[in-house]
Amino acid sequence: MLEILSNMKPCKTCDLTASMMDPYSTNDPCRHCKKIDDWNQACLEKLKRYENAEEKGELIYPPCKVGDQVFLPIDFKNRVYTGSVVGFEYAVERKEWVAKIQTDGFDLNGRFVWEAFADFRKSFFLDSAEAEKALRLQQSGQHA
């Protein structure tokens, strides 16, 4: 697991992070520790890992969070279903990332649906009013 460097002070003796965040600060770097160089190097290494992951397609930007309640307008059922995001997966056949959503009842047992990240705000929404609007547009033959 990667360290959260933005929450760390490079020096425990001085509050160097506060002066680093203030572009008008006249404070000099801490003279007795030299920890800032180590902290800067750790930040650069972390950024390098993120950039490498992004280039390889390993860094994703989900449109919502696990645990979010989402709304799915289904025109042939004439209703908006609710669901909960339980995870994210890479759908190999579809060649895209999807949100795995447990619905409130397409059938008696409840079930999962997988919605593509690209379909966020098209086939699943975080706001029920937006989902209702999309349902009305689907029913009228228009698309959101």
The residue that leads in pLDDT, 84 or 22, is: 84
- DSSP state, residue 77: G
**Which residues have CB under 8 Å from 20's CB, separation 6+?**
36
Express the helix, strand and coil content of the chain in percent, nearest 5 each: 35, 25, 40
CA–CA separation, 44 vs 36, rounded Å?
Answer: 12
Average pLDDT, the chain: 80
For residue 49, what pLDDT band results from cuts at 50, 70 and 90? very high
For residue 1, what pLDDT band results from cuts at 50, 70 and 90? very low
Phi, psi of 126, rounded to the nearest 5 degrees: -90, -10
* pTM of the predicted model over 0.85: no
pLDDT tens-place string over residues 87-135: 999 999 989 999 999 987 665 456 888 999 999 999 999 999 999 999 9
3-state secondary structure of 125: strand
For residue 74, what pLDDT band results from cuts at 50, 70 and 90? confident
- For residue 136, pLDDT over 70 is answered with yes
Ramachandran category for residue 66: left, alpha or beta (phi over 0 → left; psi -120 to 50 → alpha):
beta
13: nearest Cα among 42, 38, 34: 34
Q: Can you say how many angstroms the Cα of residue 133 is from the centroid of all Cα atoms in its chain?
A: 24
